[in-house]
Structure 1
Amino acid sequence: MSPVIALRAPLDEDLGPFISLLARLGVPHRVAEQGNEQVLWVPNDEIAGQVRELYARAPQGDPNLQPLRAPVTSSRPGIAAQARRSPLTLVVLALTLLVAVLTWGGEEYDVVRWLSFVDFHIEGQYIYFGTFAQALDSGQWWRLLTPMLLHFGILHLTMNSLWYWELGRRIEARQGALMLLLLTLWFGLAANVAQYVYAGPALFGGLSGVLYGLLGHCWLFQLLAPNTAYKLPRGVLVSMLIWLLICMTGVFELLQFGAIANAAHVGGLVAGCLSGLIGGLLARQFARR
């Protein structure tokens, strides 16, 4: 459920006593400055109604005031509850797992070749790639997106799945399943095309580009239109950006740990920052109305 605005107040109004009252009553809330106003956010419409009624009774707080109903408590929903609220996130993860099984973790090349960005065939110890123009001539448009479902090894699959679960369900809760689907496809397309344009025909895949898109989307959206769903711990953002920079140095290729699709990561991040910028600006405009 998305956070909602319960109150708006001028910047020169002292909300301190009322905020203290909310804290004493156990009402989860967050105050942010938007334009020339103070905006009070709460988790849902039910709590927002209570807060407005409470504000009408005691705008300056009241140490003797009792809550209108039973005190509102905030608890983190369990995994099952989160799963019920995130069906699209689960569908994407299920498709990723299915592809991992069908490709045997990226080792069943007869299946992988149908999902990679370009077709290829193996002769002896050599792999020969076609071009994307050849794929388009054959009507194989799905190759623009399907590499994001490919993973090579259990660690690759596990890490990307965990991060998609963490970031995807935030967007699904805040902006809905359809928006998460559109963003996932957009980030996957941007990441795959960026990698192909930068590195040429090659075998690459994974949700990593999409994940950097989700990260950039939450980051810019939160900066422009603060909300609890997209408020990531600072360490998460910093660590993922540092990891991106480390990968771009080429150290993993030098240590023979395998090639990293850095262009896909950058392409996804840029696409995510763009969508977050647009979404955040629109959300800010709607909040002012």
Structure 2
Amino acid sequence: MQKLITLSSAEDPMPLSRHLWAAGIGHRILPGEQGHDVWLLDVRQWTRAQEVLSAWHHGAPMPKRAPNSLLKVSALVQLWRRLPVTISLIVVSLLVSAGMSYWPGEVLFAQLAFTPLQFSGQYVTISGLETMLASGQWWRFITPIFMHFGLMHLIFNLMWVWVLGGRLEAIQGSRRTLLIIVLAGVLSNLAQFWFNPTVPFGGASGVIYAYLGYMWLWDRRHPEQPLNVPTALVIFMVGWMVFCMTDLAGSLGFHVANEAHLGGLLVGLLLALLPCKTYRR
């Protein structure tokens, strides 16, 4: 994103927002230190946005809106251009969940699990890491992040992928977001398998905790370029992770991939220590 203008706290940003949307210019209004910061979502629209801004300053009438059908298509195209990595992660996760629901579940599960699985009635044989490496099935390092077990698991994880991952990608770009997904996915999966190799696992929780750790530490190291993750959310999510590590959580039926959560959180914190400028692709 790129900041277009800062309006004072006394100014209403909605008239300008209506002008920008009427011109098909995607933007976001965020609270800033001096008032309302208007951020341009696609820097390729910078010249057109400047023209609309100048016209708005001079009291020009609002641009004529395009037909609703064209606006919807344009909005979808802009959304894909802004968030291709986040959207791809969500779509692939939905497709995998649909496949696990409508095909024999163990077939797809066995192909995407961290190590090869063999089903025999009610029993599952889990191969070791050396079997996976020897057979060249390298995709298994990352594919467990696309598998979810149950509707609530899927909805909860994809909601945070959209909220946290979408915000991160919109501000810092697709490359940084993809880097976090790949590193957090692989390393959190490795952590979970290393400490608990006898239980198959899946889910994007490790990636979500990496988002959380990265965004929280980034905000503290770069307050002038914030990602604006709420502190209350960080406290809740970390508290939930700690609770799930207790015997009480297990007795209540909460069986989660604790090592993947912690591994993802640590990956996010470490990546936030690396030098990075705020940019859009």
TM-score range for the pair, normalised by the shorter chain length: 0.7 to 0.9
Larger mean Cα displacement after TM superposition, 195-204 or 101-110: 101-110
Shift of 1:23: 2.6
1:187 alignment counterpart: 184
Between the two proteins, the alignment pairs up a number of residues equal to 238
1:30 alignment counterpart: 32
Change (3 A) 1:133 1:42: same
1:127 alignment counterpart: 124
Contact 1:218 1:276 in 2 (8 A): yes
2:259 alignment counterpart: 263
Percent identity for Structure 1 against Structure 2: 32
Larger mean Cα displacement after TM superposition, 193-202 or 225-234: 225-234
2:21 alignment counterpart: none
Change (3 A) 1:3 1:195: farther
Give, in whole Å, the separation in 2 of the partners of 1:105 and 1:237.
Answer: 36
Contact 2:116 2:126 in 1 (8 A): yes
Shift of 1:231: 0.5
In the alignment, structure 2 segments of 5+ residues that lack a partner are 14-29, 51-55, 61-71
Alignment of 1:1-289 (within 5 A): 1-3=1-3, 22-26=8-12, 30-31=32-33, 43-44=39-40, 69=58, 85-104=82-101, 108-226=105-223, 230-257=227-254, 259-279=255-275, 282-283=276-277
Change (3 A) 1:83 1:69: farther
Q: CA RMSD in A?
A: 3.3
Give, in whole Å, the separation in 1 of the partners of 2:243 and 2:114.
Answer: 25
In the superposition, the TM-score normalised over structure 1's length comes to 0.72
In the superposition, the TM-score normalised over structure 2's length comes to 0.73
1:15 alignment counterpart: none
Shift of 1:175: 1.4
Give, in whole Å, the separation in 2 of the partners of 1:142 and 1:123.
Answer: 24
Change (3 A) 1:169 1:228: farther
Change (3 A) 1:69 1:238: farther
Shift of 1:106: 9.8
Give, in whole Å, the separation in 2 of the partners of 1:239 and 1:194.
Answer: 22
Contact 2:218 2:226 in 1 (8 A): no
* 2:32 aligned partner, one-letter code: R
Which has the larger Rg?
1
Q: Secondary structure at the match of 2:125?
A: strand
Q: Secondary structure at the match of 1:194?
A: helix
* 1:236 aligned partner, one-letter code: L
Give, in whole Å, the separation in 2 of the partners of 1:165 and 1:99.
Answer: 17
